[in-house]
A and B are shown apart, each in its own frame.
Chain A
Amino acid sequence: QKEVEQDPGPLSVPEGAIVSLNCTYSNSAFQYFMWYRQYSRKGPELLMYTYSSGNKEDGRFTAQVDKSSKYISLFIRDSQPSDSATYLCAMANAGNNRKLIWGLGTSLAVNP
């Protein structure tokens, strides 16, 4: 079993839909949680960063961490075609917060 599991998709939604992207993990020591967006032929770019549990909102994006269920989510409201990309989750534990463990990424297509 991988430490971080992420459904690769592809996920296809109509423009304006609410998108839910998820990762599950097995290591209860993880404290740092990140979501990256990667456009085709580009490097990943940081979208959201959360420490420990709770929610964080930034514009149309909301990140949720449920440590009791070992489950993190990224919600995208009012999705746009420009949101079409691969979304990667990453996490690290408090003792070694530089050693990130990555999900495989979920491919999202938002159709106009």
Chain B
Amino acid sequence: GAGVSQSPSNKVTEKGKDVELRCDPISGHTALYWYRQSLGQGLEFLIYFQGNSAPDKSGLPSDRFSAERTGGSVSTLTIQRTQQEDSAVYLCASSLTSYPYFGPGTRLLVL
């Protein structure tokens, strides 16, 4: 596909369960971002991957959150022991230059 894709598009889980969110960036894009968007809160930076460099994890809100990027392409964001405050839209973006292209997001609801 031509754009960034994310799966699943929606996820409902129970408090305490682990979830994995997947991102397929645009082919050839070296940079990949994860953001979180909550109602009225704007875009919250989570993590940034650039090529083979160590990721910038400065935005991860707790050690329950982790992400990896395999082969410089697909990325997975994992949230362990989910809490209700983790409910949000998780957006992935990729870029080759200074401006990222976003996927449609994964809507996570923790009950």
Contact = CB atoms under 8 A, between A and B. Distances in A.
Interface in A43-94: 43-46, 49, 88, 90, 92
Interface residues of A, number: 22
B12 interface: no
B4 to A, nearest CB: 8
Main secondary structure of the interface of B (DSSP, over half): strand
What is the size category of the interface that chain B forms with chain A? Answer: 20 to 34
A97 B102 contact: no
Interface stretch (B60-68, B70-78, B93-101): B93-101
B42 A44 contact: no
Contacts of A100: 45, 100
Given A42-B104, A43-B102, A49-B98, A99 B45 contact: yes
Interface in B36-55: 40-43, 45, 48, 50
Interface of B: 4, 31, 40-43, 45, 48, 50, 56, 91, 93, 95, 98-105, 107
